[in-house]
A and B are shown apart, each in its own frame.
Chain A
Amino acid sequence: MTRDRIALLVFGCFPLAFFMVMAFFPGIFTSYGLKDMNKPWLTPSADHILGTNSLGYDIFTELVYGAKETLLIGLASSLFMLALGAMIGMLSTLPGLPGILFNGLINVFMLLPHLITLIVISAFIGHSAAELIILIALFGWVGTARNVRARVIHLNSQPFIESCTIQGFSRIHVIFHHILPNLYDLLLFRFLLGVNSCIMMESTLSFLGIGDVYTPTWGTMVNLAYKRGAFMRRAYNYLPPPGVCIMLLSLSFYFISMAVEARREQIDL
């Protein structure tokens, strides 16, 4: 464990741990309820660290509760994305027609323009958290699938897999006991990277107005701020903070993923 790696891990884990505590124990950070209505549009003060918004909700409270929503959607969609990508990636290595079909599927999804198709699909899927997770995962799996496919093709040509097949082990056994374990580090890396892009995608979609409004994520907060005239009121306490939180969260995931990759590089060397 080099000094650099430790530094990276610390930089990464600290904000993440902070936000996770925020998500699970919001009461520690704020005594207000999420929907408590105080006077609207208050500027930051001792009572309200970040002031209040147009409906009188304490902005800092919204930020704290938004951590849970953002993390939930980010992690869930990344997991979903990972599973989907791994599955389709492996299926695309099948010999014959199924493999070609799934490979074609990967290429088709690569060609479709992401944001635009998402907006059209969201018009008839709905806006709740569950649907948002599906939407975000709908395009993110492509990168994972391609990496998995490349790795599996590489693995398939390795001698130890060949010897397994010769010894008569079934294909399922080979997949679960030999191929999958060799994918773990790749999957972990893609997961961390995926959380990052999921959080970004979620915040962009929420900013454009697609997302659950009653339990807002950080992206939705910025959207609401923008739509409720925060610009005109020069409400600098309302507009930047959620974006800054998103930035910190994604930075922490990035540092953790760099620490993981550093470990991989060490082993390779």
Chain B
Amino acid sequence: MKKNLYSTLFLILCLLACTAIVNAADIPQITIGTTATIEQAVIGEYNYEMLASGATHIPLVRQDTKGVFYPQVAEWNTTDGITWTYTILDGMKWQDGTDVTAEDILFTLEYEDANGSANLVSQTAEDGKVTAAKYAGYELSEDGRSISLTLAAANVRELGNMNSFRLLPKHLWEGKETLTEDELRFGYGPYAFEDFNKDAGTISFVPNEYYPEPVHADRLVYQLFDNPDTMYMALESGDIDMVWIYSTGVAADYQDVLGASENVQLISVDASNAPAVLAFNNAKGPFSDENIRLAVTYALDYETFRDYVGSQFANIPNGGFVPAATIGYKETEKLGQDTEKAEAYLAAAGYTRNDAGQFVNEAGEALSFTLTYRADRGNQLSCAEIIKTQLDAFGISVELEGLDPDSYNAKTSNKFSENNITMEAALYGYTSAGMGMGNGLATIYVDGRHAVQGGAQVYDEDFQRILGEMSAAATLEEYVAAAGEMQDFYAAHRTVIGLYWDCLTYGAAARFENIEIDNAFGLNNAMNWLSITEK
């Protein structure tokens, strides 16, 4: 009798302990605030896809803040950097219980091709431009769980493209002309779509019962906000649990207020984006003369940008332009103010100070340029003002041109200006995805031949040669060597400069711990929901 009693008591204690553990791990709901504009909440809508990357359509691999890649849906294998074999992890299932297989990977590639991407087939644009296919061939394994993709050319950084590769359901979508909303939201991640309430501005998700690991929150709710001000106030007052804006951290203006609040914890990570870039038009206008570019970059006082626009973690960039967290980063000389050098370069360009303090050339024309920036970006506005104040005092007159997004794009990128970029100098913000695209090192923004970006309009032969070396690199060492050369090029020719480097700061409620941050998606990633706990 006593033995039975003790064993029952023991069993009850165990059960209690189990429920305690389970209850301790179960957070009833996590509310995430975001300023993204979402109209329909379906795959195909860019902003929703970024959001769903943390809930229903998680990418193939993930990258942590130190740059290390981990398998998330598939593991990878490669010997030469040309053929990559992806094997779906055990237990991955769609939300109806069907297994996720490598056929879904193939289906996704083919589906994107049908909508204009150049994965397995090359595409011809209406003006005759041909985009070559990325993959030369593929091979599915017999059990359907692996696929080997052969690239057209070796790419040591291929994994960087896979950390935003989302799968589409072959068994559900194949052969259908139009898809219902439910089909467009059908996913395989740790959560499944529950509801999109447009009036209240919420998108909610419930756990996917077939996902192999248990999530720690019973519900995920994304709350849409119109402006960041109200969102940060909601975080401060505890209405929401964390804040997420794709590829952007908490704005520097708000960091000290949020940091002082007891409800909020701020997590800062080294960033590979460039929050404020001064890009010159190297092909047209006054900055096609390298001396003038160098002069302006030596005339600016970078400490002002760091102190007034950046957060407490900001620091002054190097001439090599890319921040320290970038793959292939090389130490180059820090940017700094040197008015004597600036004057010397201006003299070399033919400009000297007249009596009024203005720089004029022999014909008496004053040196001036127009600085274009996006009027709705607060940090660009501040930087533009500071640049104008400093250069006006130095003797170069600056005209500010703050534009709305339409007009700004029409002046600063190839795609929207129809290959006629008219800015003389402009402020940009480069996302880390954009910096890493193509051959990395923000080359898509600098290369004048890039179809979409190309703001800095560089057509220089040296630049193209180094670019070729970067894309031809077969090993990481070769790539790093070429990247180093590119950074030297940036430092020497000052085609674009960063105004300040900053960390990406993420904001969450103070009561959470074991937070996992993804390099591309910040707080909104699957790993976070598997590890986060409340204190």
Question: Touch between A and B in complex, CB under 8 Å?
Answer: yes
A56 touching B253, Cβ below 8 Å: no
Which one, A40, A124, A226, A232, contacts B308 given CB within 8 A? A40
Number of CB contacts from chain A to chain B under 8 A = 51
A184 beta carbon closer than 8 Å to chain B: no
**Structural contact, B232 and A54, CB atoms closer than 8 A:** no
Known contacts A123-B406, A209-B375; decide if A232 and B229 are in contact (CB<8 Å): yes
User: Which residues of chain B are near A54, meaning CB under 8 Å?
Assistant: 253, 308, 382
Give A54 to B229 CA distance when docked, in angstroms.
15
B160 to chain A, nearest CB (A): 34
Of B178-186, B384-392, B520-528, the one with at least 4 CB within 8 A of chain A: B384-392
CB distance from A193 to the nearest CB of B (A): 32
A186 and B336 alpha carbons, distance in the complex (Å) = 62
Residue numbers in B under 8 Å from A40 (CB-CB): 308
Compute how far the CA of A209 lies from the CA of B378 in the bound complex, rounded to whole angstroms: 12
- Provide the bound-state CA to CA distance between A35 and B253, in Å: 19
Q: How far is the CA of A54 from the CA of B309 in the complex (A)?
A: 9
How many angstroms between the C-alpha atoms of A54 and B256 in the bound complex? 12
Q: Does A37 contact B (CB under 8 A)?
A: yes
Q: Contacts A35-B385, A55-B382, A56-B308; is A232 near B400 (CB within 8 Å)?
A: no
With contact pairs A35-B385, A123-B404 given, residues A232 and B375 touching in the complex (Cβ less than 8 Å): no
Is A48 in the interface zone, CB < 8 Å from B? Answer: no
> Smallest Cβ distance from B228 to chain A, in angstroms?
8
Contacts known (A54-B382, A229-B229, A232-B254); A213 close to B400, Cβ less than 8 A? yes
User: Is B16 interfacial (CB-CB < 8 Å)?
Assistant: no
B233 within 8 A of A: yes
Pairwise interchain contact B388-A214, C-beta atoms closer than 8 A: yes
Partner of A231 from B229, B251, B378 at Cβ < 8 Å: B229
Chain B residues whose CB sits within 8 angstroms of the CB of A35 once the complex forms: 385, 389
The smallest beta-carbon distance between A135 and chain B, in angstroms, is 15
Chain B neighbourhood of A55, CB < 8 A = 308, 382, 385-386
Contacts of B54 in A (CB 8 A): none
Q: Interface residue count for A (Cβ, 8 Å)? A: 19
The residue that B375 contacts in the complex, of A124, A213, A226, A229, with Cβ under 8 A, is: A213
0/1 per residue, A228-264, Cβ < 8 Å to B? 1101110000000000000000000000000000000
For A56, the chain B residues whose CB sits under 8 A away are: 308
User: 0/1 per residue, A61-85, Cβ < 8 Å to B?
Assistant: 0000000000000000000000000
Residue B109 interfacial (CB < 8 Å): no
Asked whether any CB of chain B lies closer than 8 Å to the CB of A227, the reply is yes
What chain B residues lie within 8 Å of A233 (beta carbons)?
257
Interface string of B388-410 (1 = CB under 8 A from A): 11000000000010101011000
B31 to chain A, nearest CB (A): 19
Contacts of A227 in B (CB 8 A): 229, 378
Please list the 3 inter-chain residue pairs (A to B) with the smallest Cβ-Cβ separation, ordered nearest first.
Answer: A35-B389, A229-B253, A232-B257
Residues of A within 8 A of B (CB): 35, 37, 40, 54-56, 123-124, 127, 209, 213-214, 226-229, 231-233
A-B contact sample (20 more), CB < 8 A, given A37-B389, A209-B376, A229-B251: A35-B385, A35-B389, A37-B304, A40-B308, A54-B253, A54-B382, A55-B382, A55-B386, A123-B407, A127-B375, A127-B402, A209-B375, A213-B375, A213-B385, A213-B400, A213-B402, A214-B385, A227-B378, A232-B229, A232-B236
What are 16 of the A-B contact pairs (CB < 8 Å)? A54-B308, A55-B308, A55-B385, A123-B404, A123-B406, A213-B375, A213-B381, A226-B229, A229-B229, A229-B232, A229-B253, A229-B254, A229-B257, A232-B233, A232-B236, A232-B257
